[in-house]
A and B are shown apart, each in its own frame.
Chain A
Amino acid sequence: MQGGLERATGEKMVLNFGPQHPATHGTLRIVLELDGESILKATPHLGYLHTGFEKLGEHLDYNQFIVVTDRMNYLSPLSNNFGYVLAVEQLLGIEVPKRCQYIRILMAELSRLADHLLWLGTAALDLGAFSVFLYSFREREKLYSIFEKTTGARLTTSYTRVGGVFRDLYDGFETDARDFISNFPKALKETHTLLTKNRIWMDRTKGVGPISADEAINYGLTGPCLRAAGVAHDLRKAEPYSAYDELTFDVPVGSNGDAYDRYLVRMEEMMQSCRLVTQALDNLPDGPVNVEDNKITMPHKSDAYGHIEGLIHHFKIVMDGHGVQPPKGDHYCATESPNGELGFYIVSDGSGTGYRIRIRPPSFLNFQALPHMLEGGMVSDTVAVLGSLNVIAGELDR
């Protein structure tokens, strides 16, 4: 790299990378200042997908906002749903039944698989490995069918509710999930054979876009990017929410913090997610999936139609300005989404609508470290580093 700088002519060239570029996965834009092939300076520009989620949160009921969280990190909507309702529930001071906690973990881990699979497909596609894209989408389609049967939608699931989930798992979920989990390691092995020891893949990713552990912490990196730098931090272990403390899993850690390590960490995380899904299925308790509090969860349909109390409860929950009303105060709650720490800071004024809903997006802080990883490297590394960060524009810009 240093040699490249010396050889260069000293003339600067500015390259506009994005916002519409196949490797920017949507709407990222980086302005690169180049000297020959080396990157002198990288300036990311963002906001091309700014949608006003946080403003919208001030105008929607707590339950209505779940729909918005789907569209934030659209690779794994179920993790967002989970993180958001957990924050509201902690603000309310309620705890959901055990069965619900397990169902949420099941769905969150399956969507972590879906997220990492899509990351794998696109990151490999960016570096020219087209088959991996097709392989990972083959697996993702199987997950889509499980999600669709459970939630009614392939992508925008809106599955969780404050105080529970929209409905229980369908009959046959266990068979479907176990089928998938038993076949998945085989499918992942195919990818390992294609990439892990592949000379081209290693050359393109090893030592590319490195970041040290201290710098990663200083930049606020979280998730696989932080763990690849050697910090064994996972909120599922550090602050076990829901029923994560009843399950065993390992936290994979890298050592160099480069694109190759981020790849390996994510690959191993997928195996750990499989472990978690299997355990959750083994220990899935029976019982209700919603808290039994008519001020928080919807009454059963037959109650709403058949009894006056049921009808009133139903009416109170769906009416504007009623619904779930957390006490006055604020609360910050973070969960480990596939990309890192996904936090929700909710300020409540005691009404049915959030006073302020702040989303702490992992992609935003991960993307911020990009110039640090790129500068001094070669221009062709841009795509490899960007791919390895898995920046989701919907979450980045909100």
Chain B
Amino acid sequence: MNEEKGIAEQASPLVLEKLAAHHSEALLAQRETRGRVGVVVRKEQAYAVLEYLKTDPELAYTYLVDVTAVDNSQMESELMQFDYARFMVVYQLYSYQGQCRVQVKVPVHENDLSVPSVTGLWRGANWLERETYDMFGINFEGHPELRRILMPDDFEGYPLRKDYPLRGRGERESFNFEKQNV
């Protein structure tokens, strides 16, 4: 496709090759669609894989583009795929050296919502992880100050979860506007 001409074709498989060689036990799945390389990684080895992607001199994914999550509870096919992991934490990485992207997904089960924090690797991860915590309730272990970022501190619930209604649970009306510390 014309729109993806610039993505270095030869660099993409390199990630998969190197990951298969060094972290094969962590890989749950991998794919290459629409010019984007993606891997699904076991939660226990997620930090090691991300660290490897950043520090390996040939890969050098030094730029953390995005951290977010997806709630798969209403998408049966995705939910089944990784043993009913309700959430999928998604990291987008970019390498200035190879000018290529990789997407790392980490399945997270509802009964254990913790993922290792990558704030030690990228400082940019701080707010991104806070936002994911705020919106999904994913617990990033080792995060220096994991508290709400977009919603008020005393807000209850996680708005981007699928079971949270679009119009909220009455916070718009019942929110205490007097007591707020302005």
Contacts and interface: CB of A to CB of B under 8 A. Distances in A.
Contacts of B175: none
Interface stretch (A190-198, A236-244, A280-288): A236-244
A217 B65 contact: no
A95 B3 CA distance: 8
Contact of B124 (A219, A233, A238): A219
Contact of A54 (B65, B103, B122, B160): B160
Interface in A322-354: 328-332, 334, 341, 343, 345, 347, 349
Given A47-B152, A329-B33, A356 B6 contact: no
Contacts of A141: none
Nearest to B66: A360
A358 B66 contact: yes
Interface in A241-292: 241-242, 245
Given A231-B96, A343-B92, A59 B2 contact: no
Contacts of B90: 345, 358
Contacts of B128: 364-365
Interface string B117-152: 000001110111001000100000000000011111
Interface stretch (B16-24, B44-52, B70-78): B70-78
A356 B70 contact: yes
A46 interface: yes
A91 B149 contact: no
Contacts of A89: 3
A358 B68 contact: yes
B150 A332 contact: no
Interface residues of A, number: 50
A358 B91 CA distance: 12
Kindly name the residue among A46, A237, A239 whose own CB sees the greatest number of chain B CB atoms within 10 A.
A239
Given A218-B122, A332-B92, A239 B63 contact: no
B78 to A, nearest CB: 8
A241 B124 contact: no
A93 B75 CA distance: 22
B116 interface: no
Contact of A241 (B3, B64, B66, B127): B3
Interface in A341-398: 341, 343, 345, 347, 349, 355-356, 358, 360, 364-365, 368, 372, 397-398
A217 B66 CA distance: 13
A301 interface: no
Contact of B66 (A52, A59, A90, A343): A343
Contacts of A239: 4, 6-7, 99
A240 to B, nearest CB: 5
A397 B150 contact: yes
Interface residues of B, number: 45
A328 B33 CA distance: 12
Nearest to A361: B66
Contacts of B148: 47
B123 A219 contact: yes
A219 B123 CA distance: 5
A241 B3 CA distance: 4
B122 A90 contact: no
Contacts of B160: 54-55
B36 interface: yes
Nearest to A43: B145
Given A218-B62, A233-B96, A46 B77 contact: no
B101 interface: yes
B64 to A, nearest CB: 6
B65 A343 contact: yes
Nearest to B90: A345
Contacts of A372: 123
B2 A95 contact: yes
A356 B69 CA distance: 9
A50 B151 contact: yes
A365 B123 CA distance: 10
19 contacts: A46-B149, A47-B152, A52-B166, A56-B166, A58-B166, A90-B1, A95-B1, A95-B2, A217-B63, A220-B122, A238-B99, A245-B5, A332-B66, A355-B70, A356-B70, A365-B127, A368-B127, A372-B123, A398-B150
Interface of B: 1-7, 33-34, 36, 62-66, 68, 70-71, 74-75, 77, 90, 92, 96, 99, 101, 103, 122-124, 126-128, 131, 135, 148-152, 159-160, 162, 164, 166
Given A47-B150, A220-B63, A341-B65, 13 more contacts: A47-B151, A54-B160, A56-B166, A90-B4, A93-B34, A218-B124, A331-B33, A343-B65, A345-B90, A347-B70, A358-B66, A364-B128, A368-B127
Interface of A: 46-47, 50, 52, 54-56, 58-59, 86, 89-91, 93, 95, 215, 217-220, 231, 233, 237-242, 245, 328-332, 334, 341, 343, 345, 347, 349, 355-356, 358, 360, 364-365, 368, 372, 397-398
